[in-house]
Structure 1
Amino acid sequence: MAVVKAPQSGKVVLKVQTGINATGSPVFKLRTYANVKSEAADSDIFAVAEGLGSLQQHTLVDIIRQDINNLINQ
C-alpha cells in the first residue's frame, strides 16, 4: 500500500512588521490570501506576493506558501 499526495489548493501568507512593542521587540501581523492553485509556480506566487507587499502600509518581512494536500491510501 502506497500513500499518494493529491494537491488541493493553498494559501500565501505575507508577514508584515506593524511596529515595536514596549520591550523593543518587533510586532508582526499576517495577511493571508487563500485559494492559490496548487500548480502555480513558486516564482509566480513570489512575484504576486511582492506586488501585494508593496501595497501594504507596513514593511513586508516574509512570504510564506502553504500547500493543502489530501493523503490517499492506494
Structure 2
Amino acid sequence: MPIIKLHKNSKVRIVLDAGLDDNDKKITKYKTLDKARYEAGDQALFDIAKNIALLQKHSVRDIIKHEEYTLIEE
C-alpha cells in the first residue's frame, strides 16, 4: 500500500557557540524558529536565520532545517 506524506511542521534552528564554561567545556545555545511556512524556500529561511543571527551576541555554528511529516497509508 502506498504511503502519503503530509507536511506537518518546519523549523529552523540556529546553533550558537557561547564560549567555554569553567571546565573548558563548549557551551552551545539554540534559537529555534518554529512553524516556518511550508512554501518558504530554503534560501528565504536561511536569509531570515542569518539576519536573526546578526542580532545575537554569540557566533553562529550552524543553521539547521527540520521538517516534520505525518505518514499515512493511502
Normalising by structure 1, report the TM-score.
0.89
Distance in 1 between residues matched to 2:55 and 2:72, nearest whole Å:
39
Q: What is residue 13 of structure 1 aligned with on the other side? A: 13
Whether the 8 Å contact between 1:38 and 1:67 is mirrored in structure 2 is no
> After TM superposition, where is structure 1 displaced by more than 2 Å over at least 4 residues in a row?
21-26
The gaps in structure 2 that reach 5 residues or longer are: none
Normalising by structure 2, report the TM-score.
0.89
The gaps in structure 1 that reach 5 residues or longer are: none
Q: Per residue, is there more strand in 1 or in 2?
A: 1
Q: What is residue 58 of structure 1 aligned with on the other side? A: 58
**Aligned positions, number:** 74
Q: In structure 2, what residue type is equivalent to 1:27?
A: I
Give runs of aligned pairs for residues 41-56 of structure 1, distance below 5 A: 41-56=41-56
CA positional deviation for 1:54: 0.6
Structure 1 vs Structure 2 CA RMSD: 1.2
CA positional deviation for 1:23: 4.3
Give runs of aligned pairs for residues 18-33 of structure 1, distance below 5 A: 18-33=18-33
